[in-house]
Each structure stands twice: as structure tokens, then as C-alpha cells.
Chains A and B, each alone.
Chain A
Amino acid sequence: MLQAAAQAAPTAPQTAIGQPNAIAMVFFFAIIAITLGITYWAARRTRTTEHFYAAGRTISPVQNGFALAGDYMSAASFLGIAGLVSTTGFDGLIYSTGWLVGWPVVLFLIAEPLRNLGKYTFADVVALRLKQTPVRIAAAIGTLSTVVFYLIAQMVGAGGLIRLMFGIPYETAIVIVGAAMIAYVLFGGMIATTWVQIVKAGLLLGGAFALAMLVLARFGMNPAALFGAAAEKYGAAVLAPGKLVSNPWDAISLGMALMFGTAGLPHILMRFYTVPDARSARTSVFYATGLIGFFYLLTFILGFGAMVFVGPDAIRAVDRGGNMAAPLLAEFIGGTPFLGFIAAVAFATILAVVAGLALAGASALSHDLWVNVVKSGHASGTEELKVARAATVVLGVAAVALGITFKGQNVAFMVSLAFAIAASGNFPALLMSIFWPRFTTAGAVASILTGTFGTLLLIWLSPTIQVDVFQRAEAWFPLKNPALVTIPLSFAVGIVVSLSTSTAVNAAGDAHHQRRLHMGASGD
């Protein structure tokens, strides 16, 4: 590591990154002020559980499309992909496409049935025809595992990025993010969270678009000229697949986690309850796919732009992971003011994602575990709202504690771990509960637990932990991401256990399910 630092030192660029910079701080406080203003406004409108979990089901499809995009486009996808492209070229683009292809799957298989069958959480749908207690407990385990790993990755990333960009100490940064997250969700619930996500999506798309256009302006608005310049400077290899995909099965396994994980992310699924009906849920995914795809196309330009103008070595000299590629590019193109703006956009990006995660985790604790397991479904709305708010505080404090605990650890794998759990723990059970009448309680519980714990076990035994974290020479399980094994396994266990415990399908009950599946509450 010393050697790497010594090699990197001579190429370290002149940059204002990490120095307290007045413009960055102004944007930083403006974002805090605007989002807290939104929260104050939303708090006065949050009176019932329907407001708290589902924003009163009054969000329009366009608004929800932006909010879904805001919930989904994390700092990892903005800073991480731009960094990966700027340092590896084409290999980084594998992520740009992989993060999008889950959305059509959400649209075709999940969005509308979820809206029609459930109320606040995806466990509502899985438990609908089954025994509440065991299914809710299993689904809460799947939800909380996904949320906690995603949250740790976001918090640790946030602490590091905010320290790097604003010069604020790591622990202070974590506490600021945690406090803002608790404030949004505690007081403003889903209404505040939704609007924070909409503002963030607007800022992120606007900022990335402006940056990409300024880059392209130097190449006569021709992306191919930009790619050509990169190839001329760093060799034709940057335009072709490189060593990232040394093991084909790794690439396919990661692809499966990304493709089916999106359809099992609790904070994304929860957003479909905020729109008035299934048709709005459908349209909102259409907008979200458009916005997110557009954003990932922009990452092509940002990544290669940073490669050409800043250079891979200079980017690695500032941050070894390459995460500062987009801010450095902004500084090169537009000076310190633009750097300040892009840094603030990255900050807003983190805030919106953690707020969505906290709300999803709090709903699993309050709606699934407290109301439907502890109180067997008998709890007043006032009580549920109180428990949901208490759960938000617990989760927020836990997120801050975890963020500080994992300081300096390599947690980048936790995002793909969260996707793998979502794809193998949550998605199979959700899909089968919607479309397969013979799915049973035992099948659902077995599928969720196999998917969740199988993923955790195989990640533990994989090179991701054994080689990258523990520095061992090799790992027992060869794949970095276990989704290739755990998704089929979770389906197989769900099917086999269901068939061995299944009784005759109740025709009248199934007809009723079909009506609700397609028509929602009006089909009752």
C-alpha cells in the first residue's frame, strides 16, 4: 500500500477536493435546508399509517417515476460507475447496463400485482393467502437483511465521501446523515421521503446531464469522438472487455443478482403503494426505467470524460476506489463552483437512498412484526404509527452505530450482497405467492429462509470475504456473487416444500385471488 501511495504521489492532481470549500458548503446546507423544509411541510400532512407508509396513495405516476429513480440511483451508481469506467473503460459499463435490466422485470411481473394485493409492505402480498405469523417473520428477516446490508454500504460510503468532499470528519458525517435520515422519516414519513427522492433525482439527472453535455461540447457533441480520444490516449483495450470478467460464471451470477434483485428490494417495492392504482404503478415504472436508463447512458460519457480529461492515475491518487472521478471531472470542466455542486448532488443522493431504506426497514419492524405478529393484526392505527416512528429511531441509531463500526472496512460487496439476498430471499417467494395457487406457508418460509441464509453462507465462503477481506489464498465457494446458485435453489425449495405440504386448491378462493390480482380492492 505504501508503494502504491509513493507511485501515486507524483501524479496527484491539483484539486480542491477535501478542502473546506465555501461553495460546496453553501450547496450542502442548501440541500439540508430544503429537505428539512419539505419534511416540515410533510409532517403536517402525516396523520395516519396510510400517510406514513404510503404517502396517502396520492403520488402521481410521474412523481413516483422520479422517486423510484431517486430511491434506486445510489452514490454507488453515480460515483462508483463513473469511477469504474474512468479507470477500467468498458468493464465499468457492464454495471451501467446491469443496474437497469431489473426494471422491466419489476414491471412485467411485480408492480401491478403488488399494488393490487398488498397494503404497505411486500410481506402483505406473500402472507395474503398464507398463515400470517410464520410468513411475516420470514419476510421481515428477508427485508431487514436486505435493508441492513444496503444501509451499511451506504453509510460507510457516505462517511468516506463526505469526508473526502467537504473535509468533515467521518464520524460527524455519519451522524449528520443519520440525523437527517431520522428527521425525514420520523416526521415526514413517506411523503417527505418521496419528495426528498424527487428533488434528489432532479438534481442528479440535471447535474449529470449538464456535466455530460459540457464534456461532449468539447467533442463536437459526438460521443464516438470522446471514446476515440480515450482509446488514443490509453489504448484500444479501454473500449473492449477487460479483466473484470475473468470468470464468465461470476459475470452471469452478478447479472442474475442485479436483474432479479431489483424486484426484491423492499424500499423499491414499497413505492408502488404510494400511487392511487395499478395502472399508475405500471406507468411509474415506465418513467423510472426511462430516467434510470438515461442516467446510465450519461455514465458512459462521464466515465470516459473523466478518463480523458483527468486520467485514471490522477483519479486513483485522490481515491483508490476511483469514486472521485465525477467530482474531479466537474472541477476540471467548471472549476470549484461546479465541483461544489456535484459534491452536494452526491450528498443528496446518499440522503434519499438511506431515507428510503430506513422507511422500508421501519415498516418491516412495525407493520410486519409488531402489528401482524406480536399483536396478531389487532392494533389501532395510532399505535402502529407510534411503533413505526420508534422503529425509525431504532433503525437510524443502528445505522449510525454500524456506519461507525465498519469505518475503513471494505463494504463495497455489501450492495451486491443486498441485491443477492433480495433476488434469492424475497423475489422467489413474492413471485410464487402472486402467481402460484399451490404455494404454501411452509413453502414460503422455506424459500425465504433458504434464499436469505444460503446467500449469507455462500458469500461468507466466497472469495469476496475469504480472499478480499480475510486475505486468504483461496475460497471454498468459487463465485463472488452466489445468485446463480441461490436463486434457483430458493425456487426449488419453495416448490418442493409447497408440493409436499399442499392441499387441494380452493377454487372459490383462487377466483377471489384472481379478481384482486387484476382489479385490486374493487374486485372484491
Chain B
Amino acid sequence: MADPTVGRDERLRALARRRGWIAGILTGAMIVVYFGFIALIAFNPTLLGRRIGSGLSLGILLGAMVIVASWLLTWFYVRWANKHYDAELKSISEAKS
């Protein structure tokens, strides 16, 4: 008996690969942002002490930017997943019957 789920599994595999790529790239971006910040603290503290305007230092600004970057990355992923990933999953599971 031919397995009716073969086409479905292939589509799912393609979707899984796409999600894997996006998750991997976004995780990599988070790692680069955060460890880049840590590396600056560790290896170039004077740069981070440089003042922008009267009160703000580059270090404080970048620290806040790390938090903002975390928000943006999660927002980007959730938007992609809610729009594209879920729609494709729905279409795959409907193709079953």
C-alpha cells in the first residue's frame, strides 16, 4: 500500500530545514551581539567609557542596545513563525486527509 503521508513528510522536512536555518541564524546573531558586547568590555574598556553627550557612555548605550536587540530578534522570529511557519504547517496537516 502506498504511503499517503510521503509527500507530507517531504514538505515537513523542507519546513523543518527552513525553521532550523532561521533559528540557527537568529541564535548566532544573539551570540554575536552579546559576546561582542562582553568582548568589548573585556578587551576594550576605554572605548566603552567614552561619553556620548553629557551623561551617557557608549557602554551604557550598548548595554541597552543588547536588550533591544534581544527584543527585535524574538519579535522577528515570532512574526515569521506566526505568519509563514504556522500557515505551512496547517497546509501540510490538511493535506493529510
A binding-site residues for B, Cβ under 8 Å: 90, 93-94, 96-98, 100-101, 103-105, 107-109, 112, 222-229, 231, 236-237, 239-242, 245, 248, 251-252, 255, 259, 279, 282-283, 285-286, 289-290, 293, 296-297, 300, 435, 511, 514-515, 517-519, 522-523
Contacts and interface: CB of A to CB of B under 8 A. Distances in A.
B49 A224 contact: no
B67 A296 contact: yes
Contact of A104 (B73, B81, B82): B73
B70 A227 contact: no
Contacts of A289: 70-71, 74
A515 B9 CA distance: 8
A227 B55 contact: yes
B60 A90 contact: yes
A101 B75 CA distance: 14
A515 B64 CA distance: 39
B71 A435 contact: no
B30 A101 contact: yes
Interface residues of B, number: 54
Question: Most A CB atoms within 10 A — which of B16, B22, B42, B43?
Answer: B42
Interface string B48-66: 1101011111011001101
A259 B20 CA distance: 19
Given A90-B60, A109-B27, A226 B55 contact: yes
B5 to A, nearest CB: 8
8 contacts: A90-B63, A100-B70, A103-B74, A109-B23, A224-B54, A239-B56, A240-B45, A248-B42
A518 B20 CA distance: 11
A300 to B, nearest CB: 7
Given A255-B34, A518-B16, 5 more contacts: A90-B48, A93-B60, A237-B49, A252-B35, A519-B92
Contact of A517 (B16, B22, B26): B16
A244 to B, nearest CB: 9
Contacts of B56: 223-224, 227-228, 239
A105 B77 CA distance: 11
Chain A interface SS verdict (over half): helix
B7 to A, nearest CB: 12
B70 A293 contact: yes
Given A224-B53, A240-B57, A293-B71, A104 B30 contact: yes
Contact of B48 (A228, A241, A248, A519): A241
Highest count of chain B CB atoms <10 Å: which of A104, A519, A522 = A104
A241 B26 CA distance: 27
Contacts of A96: 63, 67
Given A236-B49, A252-B38, A259-B34, A103 B70 contact: yes
A296 B65 CA distance: 12
B73 A93 contact: no
Contacts of B19: 518
Contacts of A225: 54-55
Contacts of A296: 67
A293 B38 CA distance: 18
B84 interface: no
A226 B57 CA distance: 12
A105 B27 CA distance: 6
A268 to B, nearest CB: 15
Interface string B1-33: 000010001001101100110111011001101
A294 to B, nearest CB: 8
B95 interface: no
B29 to A, nearest CB: 9
A270 B26 CA distance: 24
Name the residue in A252, A517, A518 with the highest tally of chain B Cβ atoms < 10 Å from its Cβ.
A518
Contacts of A241: 41-42, 45, 48-49, 59
B88 to A, nearest CB: 10
Given A107-B74, A245-B42, A240 B48 contact: yes
Contacts of B82: 279, 282-283
B43 A300 contact: no
A105 B30 CA distance: 8
Given A231-B55, A236-B49, A248 B64 contact: no
Contacts of B92: 519
B67 A97 contact: yes
Contacts of A109: 23, 27
Contacts of A236: 49, 51, 57
Nearest to B6: A511
Nearest to A242: B45
A515 B12 contact: yes
Nearest to B82: A279
Contacts of B20: 435
Contacts of A240: 45-46, 48-49, 57, 59
A226 B55 CA distance: 7
Contacts of B70: 100-101, 103-104, 289, 293
Contacts of A231: 55
Contact of B13 (A245, A251, A514): A514
Contacts of A224: 53-56
A517 B66 CA distance: 30
A30 to B, nearest CB: 32
A293 B63 CA distance: 11
